[in-house]
Amino acid sequence: MANISEYLSPIGGVALPSYRTPTIIIAAIGYGPLVLLASYKAQHGDRRTIINLGATIFAIERLILLSLHAVASTNPDWRASLALVKYTEMSLSLAYVVIANDAVSLLGPRKGLAVAGVLGILAGGFFRFNLEWPGPAGRLILALRCAGGGLALLFIIIIGLAAGWSYKNQPHVYRRPLEIVLSLAFLTAAVAIYRLGISSSTIDALRFSSLEQSVARQTLTSVSNSAAAGPLFLVFHLLPEWMSIALLIGTNLRKEIESGDYRQAPSTDIPV
């Protein structure tokens, strides 16, 4: 006999067939050109920076993730893969924290962001147990999601306020670096708020008293995302991430903030 059970929803929902076209477009038109631009900049010493290196790695990782999701959207076996679900959860929970950390590498409280990243990784790593013990594991994952997202948002706000105060009250400070930090703080805050807003979202799925893999497979293939889940994920998670990476890769950071080559520490600080 099957019974209806509630599980915490994966961030962004399950890769259903309707996700295929948007993910392909974002991967091909969004991240594809960014990877090419980053490769070009990496070959020119006057353009490559430590921050650009991190952004490049992120862009390549996102290209891979979106490609896997495009395949999973039309392949039930891939969609039911616990490894893919776990990888997706961990990647999405860490990415915006890494972007924020890049943005404040010259400014701020990186330890707090590091803790937020660790909590996000743990929440993603434990997600598979949500399919096996939806009660206890779900509560633990929810707590980790809220703690990690809340801590990240707190430090992002602090960073944004510090940069905003300097922008307003220190007219002698070079504006461009602060504008970059403010833009990245705004974009990553949008992701953090979205994640906090959907952290407790649940999905209804058929759960059978059989092997764990069968339970997980049935859970991930029979679920129906709400009509708004996909568009909200694209607008408030993937789009701000892409805009952040496009800003980091598209800007000549070595010229704008004198951040140094891969092998060098930043040569100057942004006064705040």
CA proximity to 151, closest of 202, 103, 188: 188
Lookup result for tokens 């010493």: 45
- Answer whether 72's CB lies under 8 Å from 7's CB: no
Task: Provide the residue count of the chain.
Answer: 272
* Cα 198-101-137 angle, rounded to 5 deg: 35
CATH class of 3-256: mainly alpha
The tens place of each residue's pLDDT in the chain, 272 residues long, gives 333 345 667 776 677 777 788 888 988 999 999 989 888 887 776 666 677 777 888 889 899 989 988 888 888 778 777 778 778 877 887 777 777 776 666 554 444 444 444 444 444 444 444 444 455 666 777 777 777 778 888 888 888 888 888 888 887 777 787 888 889 889 988 988 988 887 776 665 533 333 344 334 444 444 445 556 677 888 888 899 999 999 888 887 666 665 444 434 444 444 43
Domain boundaries, given as residue ranges, for the chain: 3-256
Q: Which two tokens stand for residue 222?
A: 């029979």
* Cα 134-121-128 angle, rounded to 5 deg: 30
* Cα 17-201-239 angle, rounded to 5 deg: 55
- Answer whether 222's CB lies under 8 Å from 206's CB: yes
- Answer whether 216's CB lies under 8 Å from 209's CB: no
CA 200, chain centre distance (Å): 18
- Answer whether 151's CB lies under 8 Å from 116's CB: yes
Backbone φ and ψ of 268, nearest 5° = -140, 160
- Quick one: CA dihedral 180, 183, 187, 192, positive or negative? positive
